[in-house]
Structures are given as structure tokens and as C-alpha cells.
Amino acid sequence: MTPVNIDDMRKAARRRLPKIFFDYIDGGAFGEATMRANREDFARYRLEQSVLTGVDAADLSTTYLGTRHALPFMLGPVGFLGLYAGNGEMKATKAAHAAGIPLCLSTFSIASLADLHAETGADLHFQLYILKDRGLCAELLRTAEDAGVDTLHLTVDTAVTAVRERDVRNGFRSLERLTPGLLLSMARRPRWCLDMARAGTPKVGMLRERPAFGGNILQQAANLSRNIDKTLCWRDVEWLRRNWKGKLVIKGVLSAADALSARKHGADAVVVSNHGGRQLDGASSTIAALPAIREAVGPEMGVMIDGGFRRGSDIVKALALGADGVMLGRAYTYGLAASGRPGVERVIALLRDEIEITLTLMGLASVDALKRKGRAALTDAGGRLRAPVR
Ligand SMILES: Cc1cc2nc3c(=O)[nH]c(=O)nc-3n(C[C@H](O)[C@H](O)[C@H](O)COP(=O)(O)O)c2cc1C
């Protein structure tokens, strides 16, 4: 059955993927309260309906991170796309490119930036974790530059990896070799096994020349995680600013004070993010944090947002509250896991159609018109206030 929304796509992904991987994607930190809040807090806002406006098809193109794109959302960094579908990074990149939007490649990827760039010519961003090994870090920056990357996302909300209890239960946390549990979980999904077998043995793309990080992907992932610099501070952002000529985006900001610090230390933009509720459980939802951050940094600084976006109307609400654009995480990952490139394309098409219908019923001819209208396009859940209460 064709998935008619992202939740259907999630169910299709669950049927296709080994349970261990599905739970890794789907789960959050500890009690998953922040992950749930990311979804639930969209209901704090209602959309303003406006009739008889003569609006036909809405123009969804808009500008974020300094470039005009066909759609107000892009594909954000998700580690190990190539484990959820064979050559997953390539498939997702091609889907994004065909839709006229960028994909941000995670540090934890199987495909290399160079291969993706050479085969697709797509608009690629790169997500960096600052590693203790600054030499490797500098090498990664050069690789990104060579692959035509002009926007670097520095992820800053992973000083320590939170416990994701589904992974603990599945025996997937800090796993460094194949275990009977993992093998059994994989054997139960023969179609996935076949797809992966065709793609060849997965390894972390950027560690091809670094045997010291381990011989299999599990060891590489574990060693790379251990190499993430836990003592990272704003001085390191300055180091990065000096060593990266392109646009610098700080991903993982949830307060106005941190957004202002990002600007002070040379960032061009922030991503309002709590890592999809996978890190600080109990932290604010991103949609609740967004208005204060936009208010603090003013209209000039770039503000992106991610966390819980599964509906076109979620995206419309974020744009009305001051985001320049939205980054998808699990939504497109479900599509990829469900059916590869067509699955990602379907996710993009579903969200595009939902946004277009939503804007038309709001009497708005374009995403830019929505951005100009801003909070006046929303009311609170009681339907009375134009500027929503925080
Ligand atoms: C399976 C998975 C892997 C992720 N890997 C990374 C990563 O490597 N780097 C990163 O900055 N964020 C990573 N994220 C976080 C996403 O970029 C994003 O912040 C989050 O998924 C947004 O929430 P959503 O999935 O509810 O849309 C990952 C998220 C998931 C679900």
C-alpha cells in the first residue's frame, strides 16, 4: 500500500528494517519526553484560515542559509544512512538533488563526500563533530572544500551520548562486533539483507585511510565516537571559524543565550535542535524554543530548526515563528529505509503537497508571503491570540 503520510512511511520502515536499526532510528534518550514534546508542542499553535483570496498554486521556493531553494526544507545529517538501505547516502542525495534541496552529510557516513559529489554534483552540506584528533578534523575540512561544500554544520549537543534505552534493551549500545542478537535481528529481514549484500561491506567513508580506527564499521563507529572532543567550548568554534572559509552553522542550540554566543563567535546560522530528543531528555521542544531565539538574534542571522517535523503544517508553523528553513531527520530516514530513493522522494513529495495545500487554504501565495506574515499567520490553541504565548 502506498504510504499516504510520514507515519505510514515509518510503519513501512519498521517492516523492512532489522528491529535493532529501526529502534536506533526511532528512539530517543531516556524516557523520551523531549522526543514526544517535539511532536506534541506543534499543537500549541493553530493556523489562520483565510478564504476567497484567489490564491491558486503556492510558490514553495525560499531562501535559507544564503541560497534560494525549491522547498523550505532540506535533508539533515543522519548517521549511517547506508545501513538503512544499500548505498543509502547516495540514494538520499539523489532524491534531494532532484527536488532542488540540499542534503547535509553526517560525519558518521558510509559514502564519502568525494564520491557523492563526483556522482551527483548535488548541493551538499557537511556535518562535523570536532574530534580530539584536530589533524583528522582539518583533513575533513579540506575534503569538504574539495567536494564543493560551502556550508558546514557543527553539531554541539553531544558532549556525551545519552542513553537510548531501546538500544540498551536490544544490546546495540557500544556494540563493537557482530553478536548472535544482531545476526538474528538481521536474518529476520531477508530483503534488507539482500539489499545490503549488493552494496558490499559497509565502512565509515572518511576513515578509509585510517586503519587505526578499526576493521569493521562497529569498531570504527565506536572509536570515532570516543574521539569526539568532549571538552569542546566556544574557543573551538573560533578555531573552526579560522579554518573554514564557507558558511558556518552551529547545530544543537536551544536557548537565546547560546544563539547569541554562536553569532559572537562567528557562526552564520544556528539550527534550533535537541538532536531529535536523542540527547538531553527533559529539554524544551524545538518549536517552543524557536520564537525566543529568533527574537534574540534578529532578522539577519540564519535560523534553521529540526525536531519532530512529520507534517507540512509543522513546517508552516516553524516558518511563521521565524525559521528560515526546516531540516528533516527521521522523516526522510523512514522513507529511505522503507524503499530507498523512491521512499525519500515520496517523503519529499508528501511534505511538499501538504505545505502547498496548507498555504493555499491560509490564503498565502508563497512561502515568502508566509514568512512576511510571520506570527500573524498563527493563533494559540485557544484561537484568540495572534502572538502565541510562550
Ligand atoms: C538515526 C539518527 C542518526 C543521527 N545522526 C546524526 C549525526 O550523525 N549528526 C548530527 O548532527 N545529528 C544526527 N542526528 C540528529 C538529526 O540531525 C536531527 O537533529 C534529528 O533527527 C531531528 O529530529 P527528527 O528526527 O525528529 O526530525 C541523527 C538522528 C537520527 C534519528
DSSP 301-321: SEEEE-SS--SHHHHHHHHHT
| Residue 9: predicted pLDDT | 98
Question: Which is catalytic among the residues 69, 117, 125, 275?
Answer: 275
Pair 113, 149: CB distance under 8 Å: yes
| Residue 380: predicted pLDDT | 81
The finding on whether 185 has its CB within 6 A of some atom of ligand 1 is no
Measured in Å, residue 306 CA sits from the centre of ligand 1 at 9
| Residue 390: predicted pLDDT | 44
DSSP 95-163: HHHHHT--EEEPSS-SS-HHHHHHHH---EEEEEPPBS-HHHHHHHHHHHHHTT--EEEEE-S-SSPPP
Upper half-sphere CA count for residue 135 (Cβ side, 13 Å): 2
Q: Sorting pLDDT into bands at 50, 70 and 90, what band is 173?
A: confident
The finding on whether 127 has its CB within 6 A of some atom of ligand 1 is yes
Question: Is pLDDT larger for residue 352 or for residue 182?
Answer: 352
Measured in Å, residue 305 CA sits from the centre of ligand 1 at 12
CATH superfamily of this structure's domain 6-373: Aldolase class I (3.20.20.70)
Query: How confident is the model over 155-181, as a mean pLDDT?
Result: 91
Distance CA 254, CA 274 (A): 7
**Percent of the chain with pLDDT strictly greater than 90:** 85
Pair 113, 94: CB distance under 8 Å: no
Domain ranges within the chain, ordered by starting residue: 6-373
The DSSP call for residue 187 is: H
Distance CA 95, CA 77 (A): 15
| Residue 384: predicted pLDDT | 57
Task: Find, among 258, 33, 256, the residue nearest to 162 by Cα.
Answer: 33
144 has pLDDT over 90: yes
Pair 186, 192: CB distance under 8 Å: yes
387 has pLDDT over 70: no
Q: Sorting pLDDT into bands at 50, 70 and 90, what band is 382?
A: low
The finding on whether 276 has its CB within 6 A of some atom of ligand 1 is yes
Query: How confident is the model over 184-191, as a mean pLDDT?
Result: 94
Pair 339, 346: CB distance under 8 Å: yes
**Percent of the chain with pLDDT strictly greater than 70:** 98
Mean pLDDT of the chain: 95
| Residue 386: predicted pLDDT | 55
* Beta carbons within 8 Å of 350's beta carbon, 6+ residues apart: 3, 4, 5, 6, 9, 312
388 has pLDDT over 60: no
| Residue 383: predicted pLDDT | 61
What would the pLDDT profile of 193-230 be if each residue is shown by its tens digit? Answer: 999 999 999 999 888 888 889 988 999 999 999 999 98
| Residue 389: predicted pLDDT | 45
**First CA to last CA distance, the chain:** 40
The finding on whether 306 has its CB within 6 A of some atom of ligand 1 is yes
| Residue 158: predicted pLDDT | 93
